[in-house]
Structure formats: C-alpha cells, structure tokens
Amino acid sequence: MMAGEDLRQAVIVAAYEVRKYLRSRRLLGMLILLALIIGLILGLPPALGSSYPSTPNAFVGTFAGFASLLAVLCGVLFAADALCSEHEKRTGYFLFPNPVRRETIVVGKLMASLAASWTILLLYYGVASVAALAVTQSLSVDVGLSAAYALAYVSCVVGVAFLLSSVLKGTIAATVLTFFLFTLIFTIVGALLFVGKVDPWFIPTDAAGIISNILSAPGQGPPGLRAFVPDPGISLAVFAGYFVIGSIVATVMFRRRELKT
C-alpha cells in the first residue's frame, strides 16, 4: 500500500510526466491524429456522396473501428519509454538519488500514462457521441460501453508497455516492440490459435473485439464460417490481468534494475 507521502510524490511525478507529453508535443501529435481520423470519418461520406449511418450504434461503430489503433498509439507514445528512458538518457542520476521510492516513480508515471491515454480516447468518443447525436438525434448505452471497453483496452496496452519499458534497455526497442506486439505479433498469434481451433480469448487484440462488437448487430459474421466472438466479461478480465501483471512486473523490474550506464 502507498503511504500518503508516496502518493504525494507519485502525483508530482505524474504532473512532470504530463508536462513531458505537452512539451515534447506527443499529446499534440495524438490530438492532430485524432482530428485527422475524425475529419476523415465525418468528411468522407458526404464527399463520396453517401449518407451517414442512421443509428447511433452504427454511426459510432465507424469510430470504434479505429479505437483499438488509437489505444495502441497511446500506449506507444505515453508509456513505452516511460521507464527505460531514465536509464538510457541518464536522467535517473537526477531522479533516483532523491528520497523517492522506485515504486512511487512507476506509479506516478503509470498515472500520467493512463490519464493522457484516457483523455485521448474520451475525447474521441466524446466527439463521436456529439456527432452521432447531431446526425441520428439519439445515443445508446452501447456507445458508453464501447468507450468503457476502449479505456480498459488502453489500460492493458499501457500495462504491457510498462513491462517492456522496464526490461528493455533502449527507448526505441521498447517503442517499436510495443507497437508491433499490438499491431502484428498478437494478431498473428491470435490467428494461429484460431486456426488451431483454440479460441484466442486471452490475446488482447482479439479480446479487444468487444469495443466494436457491442455496437454491431449480432450474427453479422459470414454464414457457415467459424468466428471468434469475445465475451465482454472475459475480455475485461483479460485486460485487467494484462494491466495488473504488467504493472506489477514493471514495478519489480524497475526496482531491481541498477543504474550502471
């Protein structure tokens, strides 16, 4: 458990991490990407002469299709270099001799990563909801559930990114591996498991199907083909598992890691 002093220090670490996102323009970069995605989703249909979906679920469903990618990019930009950069860039020589526990530093950085990632996704869903309300004149609870699932998924990505950041030496390696793990490696493993007739419920990228599925009409898969449909409860448990285990391992590894460079 964190004592009051640890929590106070964690908040300070988090505040300076957020300042890093702002000054290094990572947050700005994500906001620009967000604006591009939203602009394309809202701008392309009228430009191509087609109409918007008529139901709120179908309308936000288009947005939800990109939520997983946004979550991965958030993990890459806000979490992947959080721990290893203190070693690689030697800033640990300034930070670590202060009377602050390494666990507190990890918690502070984790708080900042989650806050930035959640802000991006909430903003994304916020714009999607407002647009859905304007176009379809209605909203559904499913939109809120999809947003909640997206937040859970991004937490899972952040947990895994922290784990990688705590064990890898370089920021580039941590960043690249986090990105490819969630865009390629997990997808390939999930597909191979599925071919081997094993449901990939424990693979985060497959479990993340719940973000879009909640907004789709049931039974929309190709007829006659076996399809993996993740269960929301199980997927949330998987996300929580990856986040908790990732964070705990990251904390232990960061605490054990010596500053030798």
Partner 1 sequence: MAEPIAVKGLGKDYGTFTALGALDLSIPAGTCFGYLGPNGAGKSTTIKILTNLIRPTRGQATLFGVDVQREPTKALRKVGTVIETPEFYGYLSPLEVLAYAGKLRGMSKTALAARSESVLKTVKLTGWADKRVETFSKGMKQRLAVGQALLHEPDLLILDEPTSGLDPRGMAEVRDIVKSLKREGRTIFMSSHLLGEVTEVCDAAALIDHGKLLLQGTLDELAKRADATAFQAAFLAPLNADELAWITGLPGVKSAADSGNGVIEIRLAGGPEVQASVISSIVRSGLQLTAFRPVGTALEQLYLEQIQETSK
Q: Which positions touch partner 1 (CB under 8 A)?
A: 5, 8-9, 12-13, 16, 19-20, 23-24, 89-94, 96-101, 258-260
Phi, psi of 125 (to 5 degrees): -70, -30
Compare residues 5 and 35 and give the one whose CB is closer to partner 1.
Answer: 5
Cβ 9 to partner 1, closest distance in Å? 6
Cβ 104 to partner 1, closest distance in Å? 9
Cβ 181 to partner 1, closest distance in Å? 27
Closest CA to 250 of 75, 91, 94: 75
Cβ 45 to partner 1, closest distance in Å? 40
Cβ 78 to partner 1, closest distance in Å? 15
Compare residues 9 and 213 and give the one whose CB is closer to partner 1.
Answer: 9
Compare residues 88 and 206 and give the one whose CB is closer to partner 1.
Answer: 88
Compare residues 104 and 212 and give the one whose CB is closer to partner 1.
Answer: 104
Tally of CA atoms within 13 A in the half-sphere of 213 that contains its CB: 16
Compare residues 22 and 122 and give the one whose CB is closer to partner 1.
Answer: 22
Give the whole-angstrom CA distance, residue 26 versus residue 175: 13
- Measure CA of the first residue to CA of the last residue in the chain; give whole Å: 31
In the chain, where does DSSP find H-type helix? 4-23, 26-48, 56-78, 84-88, 92-95, 102-136, 141-167, 171-180, 186-195, 204-207, 210-213, 232-256
